[in-house]
Amino acid sequence: MQHKVSVIIPTHKRELRLVKRAVDSVACQTYDDVEIVVVDDSPADYSERAKIAEYIGTVNASGGVQYIQNKEPMGGSLSRNVGIFAAKGEYITFLDDDDEYLPKKVENQVSFMLDNGCDMSFCNMIMYNDAGKVVDYRDHPGIADFKNNTLLRYHLTKNLSGTPTFMFKTEKLRKIGGFPDAKMGQDFYMMLKAIESGLEIRYVETCDIKVYKHNSGGISQGRNKIDGENALYEFKKSYFNRLSKSEIRFVKFRHYAVMVVAYLRNRNPFAAAGMGFMALVSSPADFFKEVFGFFGRIISHRNEEIPVPVEAKARETVTR
Cα distance between residue 184 and residue 190, in whole Å = 11
pLDDT tens per residue across all 320 residues of the chain: 789 999 999 999 999 999 999 999 999 999 999 999 999 999 999 999 999 999 998 887 667 899 999 999 999 999 999 999 999 999 999 999 999 999 999 999 999 999 999 999 999 999 998 889 999 999 998 899 999 999 999 999 999 989 999 999 999 999 999 999 987 889 999 999 999 999 999 999 999 999 998 765 444 455 778 998 999 999 999 999 999 999 999 999 999 999 998 899 888 999 999 999 999 999 999 999 999 999 999 999 988 988 654 444 443 433 33
Residues 6+ apart with CB under 8 A from 73: 12, 41, 42, 43
- At 179 the pLDDT is 96
Angle (CA) 236-97-208 rounded to 5° is 80
Predicted local distance difference test score (pLDDT) of residue 79? 96
- Which amino acid belongs to residue 290? E
The pLDDT of residue 266: 87
- Write the secondary structure of 205-249 as one string of H (helix), E (strand) and C (coil): EEEEEEEECCCCCCCCCHHHHHHHHHHHHHHHHCCHHHCCHHHHH
Q: Are 112 and 121 in contact (CB under 8 A)?
A: yes
139 closest CA partner among 214, 204, 87: 204
At 153-163, the pLDDT tens digits run 999 999 998 99
pLDDT at 243: 97
Angstrom distance (rounded) from CA 108 to CA 111: 5
CA 246/CA 309 separation, integer angstroms: 41
212: helix, strand or coil: strand
How many whole angstroms separate alpha carbon 309 and alpha carbon 17?
14
